[in-house]
Amino acid sequence: MPSDTRERVLATARDLVHAASYADVGVDDVCRAAGVRKGSLYHFFPSKAELGLAVLERDWELMSGVLDDAFGREEPPLERLDRFVASFVALMGAMARRLGAVPGCPIGNLATELPAVGGPLGERVADVLGRYVTRVADTVRDAQARGDVARDLDPVGLALSVVAVVQGTAALARAHDDLTLLADLATTVRRLLPPG
């Protein structure tokens, strides 16, 4: 099996960062919570920023899994999008239960914080967001091909608005620590994808 320590550090960092924020979580905090000495952490991660990036990458794997699960089904594209939104909301609920507070969209939170560090970090954040939008755009295109969504609209632009509203709603839910704000998200997303 792969190093247990590395995994524990990463998982712990993820929880702490989402419960609070990247800036508010110190390396010492992660070590304490993971039961690991600092030297070990730095054996696996060259810097705090790289650890943060690893958290982002792990979050993307999670989102990617949700997307795979929803978009890989044998259903009309718009229903696949519904599934995605439902899974996203369920994920928020699960995280809220585990962390004791409503987190925002994990990707969105880190995307807001990490670029501030500047440099190559920002590019990788933008890259992850790009992959996210691309995945949604692919399904929007499917819907357009079937005539479920107006064909004259730019699928990437539509996907961008979908991601934006999902991320923005999650951010509001986090700020109010209120999961119910996510209740109508599926309906809202549908509204952004007008039939032809």
Partner DNA sequence: CTCCTACTTGACCGATCGGTCAAGTTCCGT
Partner DNA sequence: ACGGAACTTGACCGATCGGTCAAGTAGGAG
User: Are the CB atoms for 102 and 171 separated by under 8 Å?
Assistant: no
Q: Which does 29 bind (CB under 5 to 8 A by kind): DNA, a second copy, none?
A: DNA
The one-letter amino acid code at 148 reads D
Q: Which of residues 133-172 bind DNA (CB under 7 A)?
A: none
Rounded distance, CA 55 to CA 52, Å?
5
* Residue 137: both structure tokens together: 């755009």
Residues 6+ apart with CB under 8 A from 88: 66, 105, 166, 170, 185
Answer for which of 19, 21, 29, 99 binds DNA (CB under 7 A) is: 29
Q: Interface with DNA by CB under 7 A: which range of 34-42, 70-78, 88-96, 180-188?
A: 34-42
1-9, 38-46, 85-93, 116-124 -> range binding a second copy (CB under 8 A): 116-124
Q: Select from 11, 19, 27, 171 the one that contacts DNA (CB under 7 A).
A: 27
What would the two tokens of residue 22 be? 């990247």
CA-to-CA dists, residue 67 to 72, 136, 138, angstroms? 8, 8, 11
Of 24-32, 58-66, 93-101, 157-165, which segment contacts DNA by CB under 7 A?
Answer: 24-32
* Among the listed residues 42, 122, 141, 190, the single contact to DNA using CB under 7 A: 42
Residue 129 touching a second copy (CB under 8 A) = yes
**192 lines the binding site for a second copy (CB under 8 A):** yes
User: What 3-state class would DSSP assign to 66?
Assistant: helix
Among 134, 191, 195, 196, binds a second copy (CB under 8 A): 191
